[in-house]
Amino acid sequence: MWVAKFSYTHDCILGNRCKKFNVILQTIYLGHEIKNKRIYVSGFHHLSGKKEDIKKFVNSLKKEKTITKIELNNNALFTTDWTKDKPSEFFNPNMFMIKPVLIDEKGYEHWELASFDRKLINKFLEDIQTHVLGFELYSIRQEKLDDIYFPKVMPALTNLQKKAIELAIREGYYNVPKDTSLRKLAKRFGCALATYQKHLQIAERKIIPDAISHTN
């Protein structure tokens, strides 16, 4: 299997708002349709960030004229929007996403996609580079995949549990080796070590068994 990992930024109603409101999205593109010279793209997005920033992000997005459908449930956001120029329009059905597209707080989209045919990936990368800025290809190589992401709404977490695990991910607590410690995370979170550790453990207990059960 050929796997490509790359990132880019472009004039995007999502990426622009991630940068403006300091919000991070994990995005699954659900499909697109071309109608009347417009490209309608549907997607599912999981929002991460401060509660007030997420609220500003969503309120701003609702005012966007190109949004035709929008539905928010906690931090799960479903949208359909149209444009005349969208990098995802070049996506070939014989390629597939290994994991959700990550749109970071600087507005960059981080992709990982795969295909049996390297030529399809090469063409996709060539096509989108004429429509984006700041393109960077990290790697394109053959890999043996034993797992890919299947979209599923995140289990219900309390606001504190969600913030605790988002902080841990953002600060690199789950990297190998770890980029931070529980003590430092608790300080950033503004609470006692034992309190932060409890929020994180409960969040992990809700997420991890559910994720593993869907890989069997």
For CA atoms 150, 156, 159, 165, the dihedral sign is negative
The arithmetic mean of pLDDT across residues 80-101, rounded, is 82
* 120 and 175 inside one domain: no
Residue 152 counted as domain residue: no
* 112 and 169 inside one domain: no
What per-residue confidence (pLDDT) applies to 215?
40
What per-residue confidence (pLDDT) applies to 150?
54
Work out the angle between the directed axes of helices 51-62 and 13-21 (0-180°, nearest 10).
150
Structural domain range at position 195: 159-213
Q: Which residue has the higher pLDDT, 149 or 144?
A: 144
* pLDDT(29) > 90: no
- Listed residues 80, 114, 142: the one ending a domain: 142
Residue 147 counted as domain residue: no
Residue 61 counted as domain residue: yes
CB neighbours of 26 closer than 8 A, spacing ≥ 6?
A: 45, 46, 48, 100, 101, 102, 103
* 171 and 93 inside one domain: no
What per-residue confidence (pLDDT) applies to 212?
45
* 112 and 32 inside one domain: yes
Residue 40 counted as domain residue: yes
Q: Which residue has the higher pLDDT, 152 or 8?
A: 8
Q: How many domains does the chain contain in total?
A: 2
* 111 and 172 inside one domain: no
- Listed residues 112, 142, 172: the one ending a domain: 142
- Listed residues 81, 110, 142: the one ending a domain: 142
The arithmetic mean of pLDDT across residues 35-53, rounded, is 86
Residue 13: what are its φ and ψ, rounded to 5°? -65, -25
* 184 and 131 inside one domain: no
* pLDDT(216) > 50: no
* 26 and 125 inside one domain: yes
